[in-house]
Structure 1
């Protein structure tokens, strides 16, 4: 794992709030502690003393997540560095621990935790570039259809020539929407289609890179298993993991 504290401060400084009054604890040290806890799935009190008081780590994590700082960091680093000539879309399941799925939250958007055959889980929809580096995420309850995630991510797609996806995204409306954006779909047809769909099999084989991306994200214990009840905090953990592994 890359140690964020060794990176130049200029990379993170534009994304964090400015300090007013009494100087606060070094943001880079706190950020390193947050990464350590999220990657290893530890309790906040189990963080190393070198990162400072665990209450400071937890409070900064909650505050920065609510402010959307980790989402802005990922968006800022992907701008101009991605290779979107070919993009890919897919979804994966993330298990939800009982501590996250208890005490159902009332009102929208809820906790974004659903029940499927595998138990309580959350579904993560992602768009990546041709190298499998994530460009955008969307999170739903586990029982939500892939089409819902595709529709939500459609407006934010970068200009590209090709879109790779599995047959779970084989829908006429999705193909038409891609073609309106000037993107050629490389999506195999469903077996229920009466007329076979032609697609580039050589390009489709490289879709495995998005599957590898999901596997690497799940190396972070707090991403593979959701412990956070708040969907905003859990989504911040996903963006933080993607930023550290793919964009720093």
Structure 2
């Protein structure tokens, strides 16, 4: 087995979750195809530069896109993240640079979640993670977008009795109110402009380094640390596949 390829243990979890009713000609081995997808995003290479030992590049790309459209990558993440116990959830975001190939504009392009920020043309990854630094969900916005607006959609992952950890960017009345309405406790440091005092646990807040470790781990993949994909859906699908591996390795 070569570096970064799926181990037997990882494959035993992923294999039952893949489509198992191929029609027509027998398809190329699923494990080999996923290993090739992982190689592409691990190295940041183009699809056509993936080694031939993994099979035809058209098969790889078509399988990746077809499964994305069918929701296969979504179901993988949903299945492995079902182990989330809900006691602790952390929310944060991280920006990635968009490569000039990914920034190419074609007719019919709409919102591709790219925007100008201090780092140039960027995309921002938003994620809630559990205490082990495993992503429960992933959302993308343009790089200059604020953290708090994107958090509202992610707060559905906060369960009653749990604790939400976030930095000062998430200190808004709306987020505190939404978290409390779900029966959870927001441990968020107040902005210096706040006049009202809020309960806050510095000890719990130190556990927030788990989400920093999550972003560090996914950015070990060069094709994730820099966005080469023009299509938002393809980049998000790759993020979900990487997040699935993190869940399996740490479970």
Q: Which residue of 1 aligns with 2:169?
A: 168
Q: Give 2:149's aligned residue.
A: 148
Could you tell me which residue of structure 2 aligns to residue 83 of structure 1?
A: 85
Shift of 1:115: 0.6
2:77 to 74, 81, 95: 74
| Structure 2: distance between partners of 1:246 and 1:221 | 19
Q: Out of 42, 56, 79, which is 2:45 matched to? A: 42
Aligned equivalent of 2:117: 116
- Residue 102 of structure 2 is aligned to residue 100 of structure 1: yes
**Structure 2 residue matching 1:25: 3-state secondary structure:** coil
Matching residue within 60, 63, 82 for 1:57: 60
How far has the Cα of 1:22 moved from its partner? 1.7
Give me the whole-angstrom Cα distance separating, in 2, the residues matched to 1:41 and 1:107. Answer: 23
Aligned residue runs from structure 1 range 147-226, under 5 A: 147-226=148-227
C-alpha deviation, 1:209, in angstroms? 0.8
| Secondary structure of the structure 1 residue equivalent to 2:194 | coil
- Give the CA RMSD over aligned residues: 1.9
Deviation per CA, 1:28-50, whole angstroms, max 9, x where unpaired?
11111111111111122322332
Q: Distance in 2 between matches of 1:229 and 1:45?
A: 15
Counterparts of 2:107 and 2:155 in 1: how far apart (Å)?
28
Q: Is the 8 A contact 2:68 2:237 kept in 1?
A: yes
Number of aligned residues: 246
Corresponding residue for residue 131 of structure 1: 132
**Which runs of no fewer than 5 residues in structure 2 stay unpaired?**
none
The answer for unaligned runs of 5 or more in structure 1 is none
CA deviation vs aligned residue, 1:204-234 (integer Å, no higher than 9, x gap): 0110110111011111111110011111001
Q: Distance in 2 between matches of 1:240 and 1:146?
A: 23
- TM-score, scaled to structure 2: 0.91
- The verdict on how the C-alpha distance between 1:105 and 1:234 changes in structure 2, with shifts beyond 3 A counting, is farther
Question: Please, what TM-score do these two structures have when normalized by structure 1?
Answer: 0.92
For the residue of structure 1 that corresponds to 2:84, the secondary structure is coil
Could you list the structure 1 runs, at least 4 aligned residues long, displaced by more than 6 angstroms after superposition. none
Aligned residue for 2:238? 237
Tell me the CA shift for residue 23 of structure 1.
1.1
**Distance in 2 of aligned mates of 1:43 and 1:102:** 15
Distance in 1 separating the partners of 2:144 and 2:109 = 18
Correspondent of 1:22 among 5, 21, 25: 25
Structure 1 match to 2:248: 247
Secondary structure, aligned partner of 2:137: strand
